């Protein structure tokens, strides 16, 4: 059986509350409830015990189930944002393409309108000439 001197602590430094709060912040634990989940999944009885172990350098936040879940949720949200921006990029590219196509269509329509106007002017001149000839013929 392995024995050790229980009276000899690994690290007796008392961790200031400010430092504990900073550790909690890196673990995405901001509320009082977050800081007292005390699920023991990390191997410690309380979240404070884990935070103190982290401060002493004998553990890390990756052993906290709450932190792992919160970090995963944050990464998923970020990926959804990235995917959303990609979709927006595709929609903007489609819109630019549609605008370009619409611009081309507008130019074609404009040409048709100009041709129609020219033909209308030509037709009006021809009708005026016919009227003039008809009046001359009737006289």
Answer yes or no: do 50 and 102 share one domain.
Answer: no
Answer yes or no: do 2 and 56 share one domain.
Answer: yes
What pLDDT was estimated at residue 49? Answer: 95
Answer yes or no: do 57 and 95 share one domain.
Answer: no
Answer yes or no: do 133 and 81 share one domain.
Answer: yes
Answer yes or no: do 59 and 82 share one domain.
Answer: no
What pLDDT was estimated at residue 4? Answer: 39
Q: Which of 27, 64, 29 is nearest to 44 (CA)?
A: 64
Residue 127 lies in a domain: yes
Residue 70 lies in a domain: no
Statement: residue 137 has pLDDT above 60:
yes
Residue 114 lies in a domain: yes
What pLDDT was estimated at residue 63? Answer: 93
Answer yes or no: do 128 and 99 share one domain.
Answer: yes
Answer yes or no: do 49 and 103 share one domain.
Answer: no
Total tally of structural domains belonging to the chain: 2
- The size of the chain, in residues, is 139
Residue 72 lies in a domain: no
Residue 101 or residue 22, greater confidence: 22
Answer yes or no: do 55 and 9 share one domain.
Answer: yes
Residue 41 lies in a domain: yes
pLDDT digits (tens, 9 = 90+) for 77-135: 888 877 778 888 778 888 877 777 777 777 778 888 888 888 888 888 888 888 888 77
Statement: residue 24 has pLDDT above 60:
yes
What pLDDT was estimated at residue 54? Answer: 95
What pLDDT was estimated at residue 6? Answer: 43
What pLDDT was estimated at residue 58? Answer: 92
What pLDDT was estimated at residue 31? Answer: 93
Q: Write out the residue range of the structural domain in which residue 114 sits.
A: 77-139
Residue 69 lies in a domain: no
Answer yes or no: do 93 and 137 share one domain.
Answer: yes
pLDDT digits (tens, 9 = 90+) for 46-75: 999 999 999 999 999 999 999 999 989 888
DSSP the chain: -----TTS-S--PPPPHHHHHHHHHHTT--SHHHHT----TTSSSSHHHHHHHHHTTS--GGG-HHHHHHHHHHHHHHHHHHHHHHHHHHHHHHHHHHHHHHHHHHHHHHHHHHHHHHHHHHHHHHHHHHHHHHHHHH-
* pTM for this prediction: 0.53
Phi-psi category of residue 88: left, alpha or beta, with phi > 0 → left and psi -120 to 50 → alpha: alpha
């Amino acid at each position: 059986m392995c024995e050790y001197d229980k009276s000899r602590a690994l690290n007796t430094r008392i961790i200031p509350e400010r430092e504990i709060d900073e550790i909690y912040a890196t673990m995405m634990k901001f509320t009082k409830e977050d800081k007292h989940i005390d699920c023991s999944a990390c191997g410690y009885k309380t979240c404070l015990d884990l935070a103190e172990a982290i401060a002493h350098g004998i553990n890390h936040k990756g052993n906290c189930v709450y932190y792992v879940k919160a970090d995963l949720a944050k990464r998923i949200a970020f990926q959804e944002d990235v995917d959303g921006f990609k979709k927006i990029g595709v929609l903007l590219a489609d819109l630019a393409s549609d605008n370009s196509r619409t611009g081309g269509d507008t130019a074609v329509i404009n040409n048709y309108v100009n041709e129609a106007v020219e033909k209308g002017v030509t037709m009006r001149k021809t009708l005026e000439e016919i009227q003039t000839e008809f009046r001359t013929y009737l006289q």
